[in-house]
Structure 1
Amino acid sequence: MLMPSIFGENLFDDFFTPFYYDDKDEKKVEKKLYGRRAQNLLKTDIKEKPEGYELIVDVPGFKKEEVKVALKDGYLTVSAAKGLDEDDEDKKGHYIRRERYAGACERSFYVGEEVTQEDIKGEYKHGILKLFVPKKEAKPAASDPKYITIEG
């Protein structure tokens, strides 16, 4: 008989896990949406182009309305929140097992404080979010050193 699992996680006691298997880091991951495998969400490829950067983010299972992109203090944040679809029509049965969860996940990327909201272009299609962030010139650092008075 196959052991039931949710996203590759054993639903039963970890008693049979080999003693040498070290999963401390996996257990630290917050289990909001997809359990221990939550670190696999919002997988992102970043491609550098001459005019800017293209971010390709996997957001499977989310509708366009459930995905948000925000820019604040130079950080571009992609977040997704999902609620469970409630089955109002079928009140006679009861669930034997529920594997779908409701929750949220997010990921942030530093893009620089020179980038504005109007500069970033986005497109969402078939569970893939594509964002384009143009390259901007960084503000030059102050050329004149500012000296600090040392007392004593």
Structure 2
Amino acid sequence: MFLVPTSRQAHDLSRSLERLFDDSFGNAFGSDARDVAQALRSPALDVTETDHAYTVKLDMPGVPKEAVKITVEGRRIGIEAEQAQTEEKKDGERVLYRERSVARFSRTFSLPQEINEAESSARMEHGVLILTLAKRVAKGGARLTVN
């Protein structure tokens, strides 16, 4: 199979461990180190299939559609994006704690069948990237002559 499902509890445990590491790492080396530790995220995704296409949905909240880069190489799909941090400091204001930082999203996976890039599409709706990936149809069979 092409995807290995994990339970929600495993995801929550992973996030708890990341936060523990990030807090310890950030306290020891400053807030810049915490930004590096949280830099790369792997968005959650759902994949469904019909006879003609795959539909992939990825959670990418706060990421503008212009920042998303999608690569299709046969059966392999790569998705990358960067969510920029907005600095909205006012005079006399100082940051006491920051968890929201520049985030890079990256996810690569393989599907069971090759994708037809020309007939595929992508759109962003309410922070969810929706890919409709058309399956590549095998070309008509050829006849062989027996010699």
Q: TM-score, normalised by structure 2?
A: 0.60
Q: 2:131 aligns to what?
A: 131
Q: 2:7 aligns to what?
A: none
* Unaligned residue ranges in structure 1 (runs of 5+): 1-6, 14-29, 140-152
> Going by fraction, where is helix more abundant, 1 or 2?
2
Which has the higher Rg, Structure 1 or Structure 2? 1
Q: 1:78 aligns to what?
A: 79
Residue 37 (structure 2) aligned to one of 24, 31, 37: 31
3-state DSSP of counterpart to 1:106:
strand
* Unaligned residue ranges in structure 2 (runs of 5+): 1-14, 26-35, 140-147
> Structure 1 residues 117, 135: CA separation in 2 closer, same or farther (over 3 Å shift)?
closer
Percent same amino acid at aligned positions? 23
Residue 120 of structure 2 aligns with an amino acid whose one-letter code is I
Aligned residues: 111
3-state DSSP of counterpart to 1:84:
coil
Q: TM-score, normalised by structure 1?
A: 0.59
Superposition RMSD in Å: 2.9
Residue 118 of structure 1 aligns with an amino acid whose one-letter code is A
Give the Å deviation of 1:12. 5.2
Q: Which has the higher contact order (CA 8 A, sep 6+)?
A: 2
> Structure 1 residues 105, 47: CA separation in 2 closer, same or farther (over 3 Å shift)?
same
2:67 is the counterpart of 1:66: yes
